[in-house]
Copies of this chain bind each other. A is one copy, B any other.
Amino acid sequence: MYVTTPSLRSEIAPRKSRGNALHDHITRDVKAGAYLFRQHDRAERIYKITSGVLRLTRLTLAGRRQVIAFGYPGDIIGFPSNGTHTTDCDVLSDAVLASYPRRHLEGMDGDPELHMELLQAALREITEMQEHFIMLGRKTATEKIAAFLSVLSKRVGQPLGLFNQFSLPMSRADIADFLGLTTETVSRSLTQLRKGNVISIESIHTVIVLKPDALQALAESCE
């Protein structure tokens, strides 16, 4: 997941696949903390997230860690470059994944339908990354945080009375490394939103959106 306005997401509901290669997948349960793959690993498979949250990171030459994206249900991750993975990927909260052999994306010998689906996912990925650039481009810390929370709220939030609740399985440091901030600034921005009664922090990893419009307005003020 990039911080984007939710875009048209191709429907990847389970299909009544009758003998087609959408059956050529392996379902996998992974526990929090496990690594799915690492940067420079040979990319054997592409993953579609059924449930759970994953984290895609890259280590920089200077040893800094950049969080590239968070993987949420519906996301397809693990697009290879020159046959290898370009990020580390580990599990933030227990996940269920479907995986497909890479040749369905890159080869012509796989299932055409699956090939097209993976290709479209790759193209959508490009669009979403572009939108994330806009986010990183220029925004105050609080605007970035507001945009981040707003997207999460829309994408994975659950109604809670009149409000909307969702969990934040990643650490403050993860959010910081994702948005180009420091943990302190993330913390301060959350506090600011909380003191403005825009959100409530139920527990460290659970947020309730009290004023979705205000959150959205903050998110868009520079978007």
Interface residues of A in 47-92 (CB under 8 A from B): 58, 60-62, 64, 66, 68, 79-82, 86-87
Contact B86 A220, beta carbon cutoff 8 Å: no
* A122 smallest CB distance to B (angstroms): 5
Closest to A139 in B: B180
Q: Could you tell me the distance between the alpha carbons of A82 and B127 in the complex, rounded to whole angstroms?
A: 10
Contact B86 A127, beta carbon cutoff 8 Å: yes
* A200 smallest CB distance to B (angstroms): 26
Selected contact of A123 from candidates B61, B68, B122, B127, CB within 8 Å: B122
Selected contact of A62 from candidates B106, B123, B127, B222, CB within 8 Å: B222
Number of copies: 2
Interface size on A, residues (CB 8 A): 43
User: Does A32 belong to the interface (CB within 8 Å)?
Assistant: no
Chain B residues near A138: list those with CB within 8 A.
Answer: 64, 66, 180
Q: Could you tell me the distance between the alpha carbons of A80 and B122 in the complex, rounded to whole angstroms?
A: 11
Closest to A87 in B: B130
Selected contact of A133 from candidates B105, B123, B132, CB within 8 Å: B132
Q: Could you tell me the distance between the alpha carbons of A129 and B80 in the complex, rounded to whole angstroms?
A: 13
Question: Given the interface contacts A106-B116, A112-B108, does A136 sit within 8 Å of B134 by beta carbon?
Answer: no
Interface residues of A in 110-153 (CB under 8 A from B): 112, 115-116, 119-120, 122-127, 129-130, 132-134, 136-138
* A67 smallest CB distance to B (angstroms): 8
User: Does A221 belong to the interface (CB within 8 Å)?
Assistant: yes
Contact A137 B220, beta carbon cutoff 8 Å: no
Question: Given the interface contacts A58-B134, A60-B134, A106-B116, does A124 sit within 8 Å of B222 by beta carbon?
Answer: no
